[in-house]
Amino acid sequence: MAYLGNPSGTMEIIRKYHLNIQKKFGQNFLIDDSVLTGIVDAAEITRQDCVLEIGPGIGTMTQYLAERAGEVVAVEIDKALIPILQDTLSEYDNVTVINKDILKVSIQQIVEEKNAGKPIKVVANLPYYITTPIIMKLFETGVPLASVTVMVQKEVADRMQMKPGSRDYGALSLAVQYYSKPELISKVPPSCFIPQPGVESAVIRLTRYQEPPVRVQDEAHMFEVIKAAFAQRRKTLSNAVSHMPSLGVTREQVVAALAQLSLPADVRGEALSLEQFAALSDLLPKVQ
């Protein structure tokens, strides 16, 4: 079995299987042992843990996870990689590989079957083109999660942590911070991958809150308001929210709600904190 946490092990597998690396799946394989060890350390993986890995690729990080975790479930969309994973993971009896699109998988079923319904940990080198939908699925579906430790594009990791007032602050920042505590673990240069991505990467850990940090009457309604507020960033919040048909509110209603929060009529979405968005959504009427 090839050990993959280095350039030679990865190239050996690529040559052995004449692997055609798929850009459409965002395939960039990690080749740095210290980065891989750092990810598993940051996720605090122990033998008591069931880990969901998204996009195992050729099994590089899967090997590290399998040596630490009690159980690893790796979901890989590319069917061409399944025979490779059977090879590179052949020595581990605690790994299950599922050949499916993670956005179409029932994570709840995995939790029930593999971890008796107890919270799992997610660890992944995420395809950058689909990072946000995956993160949102993990949180919005309400599956039992302890933490999500992922490699993402550094720009996305920055957005997850942003506070009000920054141009990088937006709907992703608010969603991540509603569901979890984000902590940047490390920055990772392109040289740590084969092939090298065109951007800098970062490892971020999202520790799931037992209870959200703010109270809101209707979560879904709040996120509709947030989505509307950032859909057209150049518009004021009152204009952006009142132009979202699904919300069915007038500009006058939004301005009146903002006034109750001592916020000006021309305020933009990027100026509001999570607490203020929660209060605003509670004040705005919902479509019946």
pLDDT band at 97 (very low <50, low <70, confident <90, very high): very high
77 vs 103: CA distance, rounded Å: 10
Q: For the chain, count helices (H), then strands (E).
A: 12, 9
Domains 7-208 and 219-283 share a fold: no
Provide mean pLDDT across the span 23-33: 79
- Of 222 and 14, the structure prediction assigns the larger pLDDT to 222
Can you name the CATH fold of 7-208? Rossmann fold (3.40.50)
pLDDT of 64 > 90? The answer is yes
- 161-195 pLDDT per residue, tens: 999 999 899 999 999 999 999 999 999 999 999 88
Residue 267, pLDDT score: 97
The ranges assigned to domains in the chain are 7-208, 219-283
Tokens 């997850």 identify what position? 160
pLDDT of 205 > 90? The answer is yes
| Mean pLDDT, all residues of the chain | 94
* Burial class for 152, CB neighbours closer than 10 Å (0-12, 13-18, 19+): buried
pLDDT band at 24 (very low <50, low <70, confident <90, very high): low
Residue 22, pLDDT score: 65
Provide mean pLDDT across the span 106-133: 94
pLDDT band at 8 (very low <50, low <70, confident <90, very high): very high
Provide mean pLDDT across the span 140-147: 95
Instruction: Give percent of the chain above pLDDT 90.
Output: 86
Quote the tokens at residue 64.
């590290």
Q: Which residues pair with 29 in a beta bridge?
A: 194
Provide mean pLDDT across the span 235-253: 94
pLDDT band at 21 (very low <50, low <70, confident <90, very high): confident
Name the CATH superfamily, with its identifier, for domain 219-283.
rRNA adenine dimethylase, C-terminal domain (1.10.8.100)
